[in-house]
């Protein structure tokens, strides 16, 4: 019975630590890391330029993660390129789906396999949109590069940060 009490105490302790940031528990008198409450960034003298991005996901007391996108610069035909989605802060109890649109000079089904929105961002705060390029079907003599542009779209539960779009080039 003593072993079960120890296990229960340990589980409750872990749950309390996990929930403390969510309920914004006060710091102990001896100090410790602090996090300002939502919408009080201007009142905190320790705010830096990077903290301004944090205010982008605060709306009426609700904190929403900010999503940004980056890409591989270019990819050769027949290879796979990627767009990386970054969510700050990462969600503690799961991921989220992010809507996006695709544009550019490359043609879906001709230059690359079509991309399907939404993309999933996992609990770690990162997601990947893979772009599988196809062999050149145009059989043209001009060896031209084509662009794939992915633009993040607003949605429930997240805010779109900067950069909100990224470009990848498909090279011959």
Q: Tell me the whole-structure pTM to 2 decimals.
A: 0.63
Q: How many domains are contained in the chain?
A: 2
**Domain match, 10 and 31 both:** yes
Average pLDDT across the chain, whole number: 78
Structure tokens at 57: 């996901």
**Domain match, 118 and 151 both:** yes
> In 5-140, where do the E strands start and end?
58-59, 62-63, 66-71, 74-76, 80-88, 96-98, 100-103, 119-121, 126-132
What pLDDT, on a 0 to 100 scale, did the predictor assign at position 57?
A: 42
**Domain match, 74 and 147 both:** yes
What pLDDT, on a 0 to 100 scale, did the predictor assign at position 136?
A: 81
CATH assignment at residue 157: 2.60.40.2030
What pLDDT, on a 0 to 100 scale, did the predictor assign at position 8?
A: 65
Share of the chain above pLDDT 90, in %: 50
Q: Please, which pLDDT band fits residue 90 given cuts at 50, 70 and 90?
A: confident
**Domain match, 108 and 152 both:** yes
**Domain match, 59 and 70 both:** no
Last residue of a domain, one of 31, 63, 95: 63
Interatomic CA distance for residues 64 and 41, integer angstroms = 15
**Domain match, 45 and 70 both:** no
pLDDT in tens, 12-26: 656 666 655 555 555
**Domain match, 93 and 152 both:** yes
**Domain match, 72 and 58 both:** no
pLDDT in tens, 114-154: 999 999 999 999 999 999 999 887 666 668 899 999 999 99
pLDDT in tens, 32-66: 455 554 444 444 444 444 444 444 444 455 688 99
**Domain match, 167 and 135 both:** yes
Last residue of a domain, one of 63, 81, 113: 63
**Residue 120 pairs with which residues in a beta bridge?**
97
Q: Which domain holds residue 28?
A: 2-63
**Domain match, 72 and 42 both:** no
pLDDT of 165 over the 90 cut: yes
pLDDT of 27 over the 90 cut: no
């Amino acid at each position: 019975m003593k072993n079960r009490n120890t296990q229960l105490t340990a589980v409750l302790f872990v749950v309390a630590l996990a929930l403390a940031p969510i309920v914004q528990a006060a710091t102990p008198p001896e100090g410790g890391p602090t996090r300002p409450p939502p919408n009080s960034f201007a009142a905190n003298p320790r705010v830096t330029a990077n903290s301004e991005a944090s205010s982008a996901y605060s709306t009426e007391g609700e904190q929403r993660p900010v999503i940004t996108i980056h890409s591989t610069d270019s990819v050769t035909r027949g290879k796979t390129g990627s767009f990386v989605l970054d969510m700050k802060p990462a969600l503690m109890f799961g991921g989220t789906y992010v809507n996006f649109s695709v544009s550019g000079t490359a043609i879906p089904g001709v230059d690359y396999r079509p991309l399907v929105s939404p993309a999933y961002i996992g609990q770690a705060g990162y997601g990947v949109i893979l772009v599988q390029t196809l062999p050149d079907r145009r059989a043209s003599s001009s060896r031209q590069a084509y662009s794939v542009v992915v633009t993040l779209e607003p949605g429930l539960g997240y805010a779109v940060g900067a950069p909100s779009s990224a470009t990848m080039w498909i090279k011959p």
